[in-house]
Amino acid sequence: MTESPDSDQSVDGRDDLGPAWRQRAVDRSTQAVRERAAERVQRFMTTARLLIDEKQSTDVTVQEVVDRSGQSLRSFYQYFSGKHELLLALFEEEMLSAAVRLRDASAGGDPIDRLRRAVAFLFETASPGPTSTQPLFADFASTLVVDHPEEVTAAYVPVFECLAEIVEQIAAQGQLRDVRPRRAAVIVLQAATVTAGGRTSSDGSQPITGDEVWEFCLSAIVPDDVVAGLGAG
């Protein structure tokens, strides 16, 4: 007979404790102290975010996080293997938040207009400088893409799914080029976020604009006749 899952676990066996970083961190503790461990992890997370906000950079140390949080170094390493895992946890959490805000920013209306608003949101959120709500986008994400692409892919899933849903609606209306909707969504996501990271030219004279990125994405995935019709309208 198959045993029923424990009361604190979902049907697939994973604990209902939130995003992947929390699962990894809390799994380091024993079942008996799971709730207290989650509170300690959140304190490290909150402290790290405050330090990053203060410095406007991810150039923080584990010792700074430990000292400010009022916890011990030993406790930190119970839940995180090091600074990289802490930053990855913050990045994953930021992506979950970004997905919620992306859905709000692109809610309602024609799918192509929804995509336009989604691209504008992604471009501004991923841009370095005052338009970015979190240095993790400009600072940590660019390094993560090169060194740990699989971690980036996993972290971006909530954002990607929102974008893919919009592109699939465009396809359902017969307004998508002969390309798979989810592949088209990957193109749009990368164009909006990666381009935003280098939005300013080397001499600063010709910054890349969100409108340019949108026009590029639109032409890349929507047939010319549809684009022409949008212009005429």
Q: Per-residue pLDDT tens for 126-180?
A: 876 544 455 566 666 667 767 777 887 888 899 999 999 999 999 999 999 999 9
Q: Is the dihedral of CA 56, 62, 64, 65 positive or negative?
A: positive
* Residue 53 structural domain: 20-81
**Together in a domain, 44 and 108:** no
- The mean of the pLDDT values for the chain is 83
Cα 219 to chain center, whole Å? 25
Weakest mean pLDDT among 31-40, 83-92, 177-186: 31-40
Domain membership of residue 8 (yes or no) is no
**Together in a domain, 92 and 188:** yes
- Domain count within the chain: 2
pLDDT at 163: 97
**Together in a domain, 112 and 35:** no
Of the residues 81, 96, 114, the one at which a domain ends: 81
- pTM of the predicted structure, to 2 decimals: 0.73
Pairwise CA distance, residues 27 & 91, whole Å: 19
**Together in a domain, 128 and 62:** no
**Together in a domain, 61 and 98:** no
Single-letter code of the amino acid located at 110: D
pLDDT at 102: 96
Of the residues 81, 111, 127, the one at which a domain ends: 81
pLDDT at 207: 81
Task: Return the CATH number at 180.
Answer: 1.10.357.10
Domain membership of residue 50 (yes or no) is yes
